[in-house]
Chains A and B, each alone.
Chain A
Amino acid sequence: MIVNRTPIRTSVNYGINEVDIQDLKIHSKVVEFNNLTILGDSSKFDIYTNDDNNQVNRKDLVYGNGKELEEEVYEKANQNIKIGVNNSGTLNLEFELDDENKCLIDNINIISNSKKQATIVIKYGSDDAQEYYHNGIIRVDAKENSRINIIVINLLNEKTNNFLSIENILGQDAIVNYTIVDFGGKSSISNYYSNLIGQRSKANINTIYLGNTEQLFDLNYIAELRGEKTDVNIEVQGALKDFAKKNFKGTIDFKKGSKKSTGNENEYCMLLSDKAKSKALPMLLCTEEDVEGNHSSAAGKVDKKSLFYIMSRGISYRDAMKLIVKAKFNKILETIKDENLKDEILKEIDTKLD
């Protein structure tokens, strides 16, 4: 199935306009998913779950992973969640896939009312036993002056296909920060779209990915700046081991009217094996004069000097490598305040790099 198309196509020969996932079938029947844990200040949020069908958002995504996967969410979702942010607070949603909950199709709708601040952690995890399936949509409607931090953690096993579409709409002075930890999945296909309509709204995305074995990561991040003085920052750091592959597609699109806006995009891929493959398509699109857009993209192996320095202190090659990767990821990991969660991620880095 062809998924995750870029907003603008380039030469077909480059093989980056979309990604083809073999043997992917839309589920005809989906059973219940009962392994969701909600933690945190749940009293500060209005939470509606599956029961209330009227609360399901079926509005077409502007981009998304593709029509078929989108339809699957509207028709088959076994977790429909609507969250209204009425007071400032933190909320954790932890989905854990296992033998009794093999398939998760979630539709999460977050509406942040004006002047509210909240942090919502959404974690997708699984045991290692078998192949599972995840397909989800996360939508955020950030009203004026609200500030929302979303942390998405993907620690699914490496047999499972993971699909996620994210769509945000930002009102005046709204700030939406994402921290995405993308470690799991046989194929992990994610689409992120922010529509910065409100003046002075701001979208930040900080992503780390870590691939080993034959994992495939396809990241398609799109930000459209429409309001005046809006600001977008995309920061993607990653490392690829073994035969892992990554496609990063980042688009910053300055639409007419986005005067005095800025957009920055920075992507760095550490290559830890000579069989790993890294593709990047950092796009800047611009139809407005008075804006400033920058992107940079780089790739390379771990700095020999740093490696030598650390090893000269009696640390093994493997541990030195882990230290360097963790150091690179640290800036982004620091946005996660939950220490337990951070420890879990650091442990996962150790496991993957062993």
Chain B
Amino acid sequence: MKTDIEEINRNIYDIKNKDEYDFKIKKGLTKEIIEEISKQKNDPEWMREIRLKALETYNKLELPTWGPDLSELNMDDIATYVRPKTKMTDNWDDVPDDIKNTFDRLGIPEAEKRSLAGVGAQYDSEVVYHSMKKELLEQGVIYTDMESAVRDYPEIVKEHFMKCVPMSNHKFVALHAAVWSGGSFVYVPKGVKVEIPLQSYFRLNSPESGQFEHTLIIVEEGASLHFIEGCSAPKYNKVNLHAGCVELYVKDNAYLRYSTIENWSKNMMNLNTKRAIVGKNAQIDWVSGSFGSHISMLYPMSVLNGEGAKTEYTGISFAGKNQNLDTGFKVIHNAPNTSSVVNSKSISKNGGICTYRALTKINENAKGSKCSVSCESLMLDDISRSDTIPVNDIRNDDIEFSHEAKIGKISDKTIFYLMSRGISEEDAKAMIVRGFAYPISKELPVEYAVEMNNLINLELEGSIG
């Protein structure tokens, strides 16, 4: 007896535009290619140097000896820089029709009108639209694309770029530093509370290419921000690569909420790196939904450097056919009285693989710290796979730490109970799966509920037999 739970309906994401571009760099990765990207992007000298150094680091580093098999990825087949045929604008009417239609279909301009304080939209390697409410501008909030930030705020960028995540961290972050393009820069000045979320949306249209956007967010002392990131791409038969990098600086007493809905197409290698450095009594909350991509290796990390710093991670991943989603959360308690709460859920079906891979490290100096981790995995059939691989590294005695994980199927008892109340079996199962995902979906901003609903459109079809 099996109830079929449909996979995500991807129609709106899979509409491809013709692969039209203003400039597409040759495939592969050489010094000449990096120089060319740097030239095309009018980099200042210091940025050109970072890129070249990163290439050297990339060549030195080995592929990871753990995690999903990445042998399908051949960098010689990937174009690292694709410039769309448009310039950045702050007026949707100036965005070329095909690109604008893409974002229209994804509901971005509509959401901007209704409930966002600012929007950035990236198409292939460049940001095509960026705008922010005037009031925020007046309060000194900066929200712009990374290239403008490098040009207009070089000192801030120089101080923070690839400092939170060192480029030697792993091979794909070095690759990112060498070929990065696009992304968002947010600066929230001391004490400014940004009440309405900012959102950046990343869309990769061009086949056999990579997207390497860089997101740099600095929330100054006592300030607060909610930032939303969305990503999608249409499906091609060839491998695409996403190796973005997110660097977040949450200064003393500041608050940042970073929400991600990732719905890359099923040919995407999503090898993304995200990290936050959190100051005294500051807090970073991560909300993360992973639905798309062929292979994901994504482990957001909070480094709790200030006394009393806090972090929360709420994540869900849903792996269907031909998907291997290797995700998790890393936290380093590096100061007294820090705390972390982790809540992770995963659903595997149709041969999909979900892995929760994590690190909790409580250092010698993190006296009085607390950490609680909970992860649950739901298996919807017996051809899928679900693994939990958490590392807990505890280095002082004055702490409270607990970790628990569960793996299983939908409980027959619960279904029986609901059915005894007159609910049909399909409805009962649907209810249970929605209930399973609820702790995550309730954390998402309302505007995103629409997209979330599209994503875990867990309509149960009556194929019981």
Contact = CB atoms under 8 A, between A and B. Distances in A.
Nearest to B374: A296
Interface in B356-377: 357, 359, 364, 367, 377
Given A12-B66, A289-B382, A292-B408, A301 B399 contact: yes
Interface in A265-280: 269, 271-280
Nearest to A258: B382
B394 A284 contact: no
A281 B390 contact: yes
A14 B399 contact: no
Interface in B390-448: 390-409
A283 B407 CA distance: 11
A331 interface: no
A275 B381 CA distance: 45
Given A14-B359, A286-B385, A286-B387, A274 B398 contact: yes
A281 B391 contact: yes
Given A274-B364, A278-B394, A296-B402, A283 B382 contact: no
A251 to B, nearest CB: 9
B78 to A, nearest CB: 24
Nearest to B371: A299
Contact of B387 (A274, A284, A296, A301): A284
B385 A284 contact: no
B379 A289 contact: yes
Nearest to B362: A299
B66 A9 contact: yes
B66 A282 contact: no
Interface residues of B, number: 39
Contacts, number: 140
B384 interface: yes
A282 B390 contact: yes
Contact of A12 (B65, B367, B388, B403): B65
A129 interface: no
B389 A295 contact: no
A277 B395 contact: yes
Contacts of B402: 296-298
Contacts of B408: 291-293
Interface in A15-64: 16-17
Contact of A286 (B66, B67, B386): B386
Given A276-B397, A277-B394, A286-B379, A11 B388 contact: no
A284 B404 CA distance: 11
A272 B397 CA distance: 6
Nearest to A252: B407
B393 A14 contact: yes
Contacts of B387: 8, 283-286
A269 B357 CA distance: 21
Contacts of A9: 65-66
Interface of B: 64-67, 357, 359, 364, 367, 377, 379-382, 384-409
The 6 closest A-B pairs by CB, nearest first: A271-B397, A9-B66, A293-B407, A289-B382, A296-B404, A301-B397
